[in-house]
Structure 1
């Protein structure tokens, strides 16, 4: 089973896949690279992928090449997370398997910030009143953060007690 490694901190300039492949030439033909480029400019987006044959080889390559200088910048190697269902292509920077942050990311409902799949914004004039067909988006937007729900409930009770006095 092949293992994909994320290569980060690549210089954001015009570089070729062959330049990146040359860094890992010692590992032989069993290692393949993919450089992610901007479609418009053709310049590197700052990351790429390395595919190796097995987990042991992946660990050895990470240990050997993590911090290795490529065009005067130290590259960062780590195991790539598997693609999620929503990703269509590899042009979106993946999140690394091991996060360096000590605080967990807040749980945000991503659907409330996005338009429905079929809904498109009109580019023509006539920007009158529009009502959202998704009424659940409004109720999702006012849900309190669960970490502060108990504090919010106390504040509501205090406010209710003040208004009745």
Structure 2
């Protein structure tokens, strides 16, 4: 299950996010989203866990939990809509 994690500290790295969620089970991937130009954190990321049950426990345990002075917002990630091409031929 893929989860959206918002309100991260701007110092949080991928590995920090992975360790935080690993307390609840097996983490497939953890990615803090960064700005393309500055490479600085945008304050949110995505975590994927192998088991839906573990992911639900992580959401329950970490949503609104204060980390580095910020209350995390953890929820199930929404599917990204398919991109449409705006190319003109």
With normalisation by structure 1, the TM-score equals: 0.47
- Which among 49, 52, 57 is matched to residue 49 of structure 2? 52
Instruction: Note the aligned Cα RMSD (angstroms).
Output: 2.0
**Contact 2:24-2:57 within 8 A present in 1 as well:** no
Larger radius of gyration: 1
- Return the structure number with greater strand share: 2
Alignment of 1:1-165 (within 5 A): 3-11=1-9, 13-28=10-25, 30-31=26-27, 32-86=29-83, 116-118=86-88
Residue segments in structure 2 that go unaligned for 5+ positions in a row: none
Aligned residues: 87
Residue segments in structure 1 that go unaligned for 5+ positions in a row: 88-115, 120-165
Question: How far is 1:14 from its partner?
Answer: 4.0
Q: Bigger relative contact order, structure 1 or 2, given CA contacts below 8 A and separation 6+?
A: 2
Structure 1 outlier segments of 4+, above 6 Å? none
